[in-house]
């Protein structure tokens, strides 16, 4: 079958079919599909494509089918043990990088690193930054560690339930994309979220449980003048601001995503 016929006969949305076929033939650029429209698809690639389409038809996220997702221009391995990195999380990376500037000697802790996305992106752009990343899940840490090795980025990984394994250490910056979806949120049973680790998405209660704990405990792990940056839901900005204030943080500020929705909050510990 030709590329054109394979795409024409597939039963999943066209863009998904194109993405999966490119993956199965080992190409990355959509232009290849046009240039090779009338080429025969090799039999192995065709079998792989059919299997991938079946997975997609069952709802499996594209990132899990191909085992990769781009984040901050880095290609990361992802498995169902980690949340699929999202573009809005790049806001946190931007914020950390702006904040640390070109100075040496700064350190960062990424809480609940998952695939390692935030830690790896920050280390990639700020090689002199000392980066620690933790996760409660050993399986997530295995994925993050593989990504660090593949990208030759040096990160210290720790298995930890938030700060439980951090002892008396302190960092210049603490960053987190914690589970913040309320357990009653219907999105948890829709689309990609159905296949992602629930522990990375929801705290099992109102969506603010992990955020509360991180804001409460982080001053014990921040250097004087250090910053905490947290991603949260677009409707949680006010509650998160109140938590930062109540804990005694200064210079509390908010960042919005490309759609203008509040997405991340930060504060300075003095
Ligand atoms: N942004 C994700 C979503 O709503 C949630 C990620 C998270 O809970 N940290 O799909």
Confirm or reject: Cβ of 177 under 6 Å from ligand 1.
yes
In this predicted structure, the answer to whether residue 258 has a pLDDT above a threshold of 90 is: no
Q: Is the pLDDT of residue 103 over 80?
A: no
Q: How far is the CA of 42 from the centre of ligand 1 (A)?
A: 38
Output the 3-class SS for the chain: CEHHHHHHHCCCCHHHHHHHHHHHCCCCCHHHHHHCCCCECCHHHHHHHHHHHHHHHCCCCHHHHHCEEEECCEEEECCCCCCCCCHHHHHHHHHHHHHHCCCCCCEEEEECCCCCHHHHHHHHHCCCCEEEEEECCHHHHHHHHHHHHHCCCCCEEEECCCCCCCCCCCEEEEEECCCCECCCCHHHHCHHHHHCCHHHHECCCCCCHHHHHHHHHHHHHEEEEEEEEEECCCCCHHHHHHHHHHHCCEEEEEEECCCCCEEEEEEEEC
pLDDT for the residue 17: 97
Over residues 94-102, mean pLDDT:
90
Averaged pLDDT of the chain = 96
- Cα(95) to ligand 1 centroid in Å equals 18
CA–centroid distance, residue 179 to ligand 1 (Å) = 7
Cβ(86) – ligand 1 distance below 6 Å: yes
User: Class of 68-269 per CATH?
Assistant: alpha beta
pTM over 0.75: yes
By alpha-carbon position, which residue is closest to atom 5 of ligand 1? Answer: 201
Predicted confidence (pLDDT) at residue 57 exceeds the cutoff of 90: yes
Confidence at 102, pLDDT banded by 50, 70, 90: confident
User: Is any ligand 1 atom within 6 A of the Cβ of residue 214?
Assistant: no
- Determine whether the shortest distance from the Cβ of 201 to ligand 1 is under 6 A: yes
Residues 225-235: tens digit of each pLDDT: 999 999 999 99
Determine the pLDDT at residue 101: 80
Ligand 1: residue whose CA is nearest its atom 2? 201
Question: Does pLDDT of 259 surpass 80?
Answer: yes
User: Is residue 260 pLDDT above 90, yes or no?
Assistant: yes
- Asked if residue 181 has its Cβ within 6 Å of ligand 1, the reply is yes
Distance 201 CA to ligand 1 centre (A): 6
Q: Is 193 in the pocket of ligand 1 (CB under 6 A)?
A: yes
**Which atom of ligand 1 is least distant from the CA of 178?**
9
133-182 residue pLDDT tens = 999 999 999 999 999 999 999 999 999 999 999 999 999 999 999 999 99
- Asked whether the predicted pLDDT for residue 186 surpasses 90, the reply is yes
Percent of the chain with pLDDT over 90: 97
Q: Which residue of 176, 177, 190 sits with most ligand 1 atoms within 8 Å of its CB, as the best mutation to test the pocket?
A: 177
């Amino acid at each position: 079958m030709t590329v054109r016929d394979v795409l024409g006969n597939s039963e999943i949305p066209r863009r998904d079919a194109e993405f999966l076929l490119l993956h199965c033939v080992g190409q990355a650029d959509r232009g290849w599909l046009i240039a090779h429209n009338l080429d025969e698809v090799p039999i192995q690639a065709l079998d792989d494509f059919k299997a991938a389409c079946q997975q997609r038809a069952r709802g499996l996220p594209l990132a899990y089918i191909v085992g990769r997702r781009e984040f901050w221009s880095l290609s990361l391995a992802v498995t169902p043990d980690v949340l699929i990195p999202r573009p809005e999380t790049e806001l946190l990376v931007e914020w950390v990088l702006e904040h640390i500037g070109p100075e040496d000697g700064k350190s960062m802790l990424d809480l609940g690193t998952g695939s390692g996305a935030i830690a790896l992106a920050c280390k990639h752009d700020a090689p002199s930054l000392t980066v620690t990343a933790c996760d409660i899940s050993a399986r997530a840490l295995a994925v993050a560690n593989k990504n660090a090795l593949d990208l030759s980025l040096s990160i210290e990984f720790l298995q930890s339930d938030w700060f439980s394994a951090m002892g008396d250490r302190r960092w210049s910056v603490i960053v987190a994309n914690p589970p913040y979806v309320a357990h009653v949120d219907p999105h948890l049973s829709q689309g990609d979220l159905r296949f992602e680790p629930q522990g990375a998405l929801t705290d099992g209660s109102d969506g603010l449980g992990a955020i509360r704990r991180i804001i409460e405990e982080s001053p014990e792990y921040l250097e004087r003048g250090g910053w905490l940056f947290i991603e949260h839901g677009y409707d949680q900005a006010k509650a998160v601001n109140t938590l930062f204030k109540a804990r005694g943080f200064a210079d509390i500020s908010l960042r919005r995503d490309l759609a203008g929705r509040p997405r991340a909050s930060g504060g300075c510990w003095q």
